């Protein structure tokens, strides 16, 4: 089940792999990848909702969940979470996010060259 066309409900995001788009079965294992946002980014309007993340390097939009501010996930430093069907999907997503982060830092540092 792909979640690209319209904004999905949070329940749908929680039961679909953020990386490959497969439906996660109730009886199967579920994995999660927590991420920290940049300090200047405000995601409060997505609290307790699904939030789209554009992955520029692969031209793909994936969905994550922004937990409530008082949740254990947020207290542990996870500003948003991806739901995953396997460790393999988690590893691929983490690698891609690391690449995106490096590219973003490179672009932000370019202003110092001028």
Tally the domains of the chain: 1
Domain assignment of residue 75, yes or no: yes
Domain assignment of residue 60, yes or no: yes
Domain assignment of residue 62, yes or no: yes
Residues 32, 80: contact at Cβ < 8 Å? no
> Phi first, then psi: what are they for 16, rounded to 5°?
-130, 135
Q: What is the pLDDT of residues 14-52, one digit of tens each?
A: 999 999 999 998 887 899 999 999 888 999 999 999 999
The reply to whether the predicted model has a pTM over 0.85 is no
Residues 85, 49: contact at Cβ < 8 Å? no
Domain assignment of residue 4, yes or no: no
CA of 16: how far to CAs of 42, 67, 98, 102, 113, in Å?
A: 25, 17, 22, 27, 42
What domain range is 25 assigned to?
10-112
Place of tokens 């929680």: 14
């Amino acid at each position: 089940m792909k979640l690209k066309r319209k904004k999905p409900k949070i329940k749908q995001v929680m039961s679909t792999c953020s990386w490959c788009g497969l439906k996660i079965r109730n009886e199967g294992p579920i994995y999660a990848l927590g991420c920290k946002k940049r300090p200047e980014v405000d995601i409060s309007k997505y609290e307790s909702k699904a939030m789209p993340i554009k992955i520029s390097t692969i031209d793909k939009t994936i969905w994550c969940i922004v937990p409530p501010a008082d949740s254990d996930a947020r207290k542990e430093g996870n500003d948003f979470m991806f739901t995953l069907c396997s460790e393999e999907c988690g590893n691929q997503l983490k690698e891609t996010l690391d690449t995106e982060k490096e590219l973003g830092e490179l672009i932000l540092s370019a202003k110092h060259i001028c």
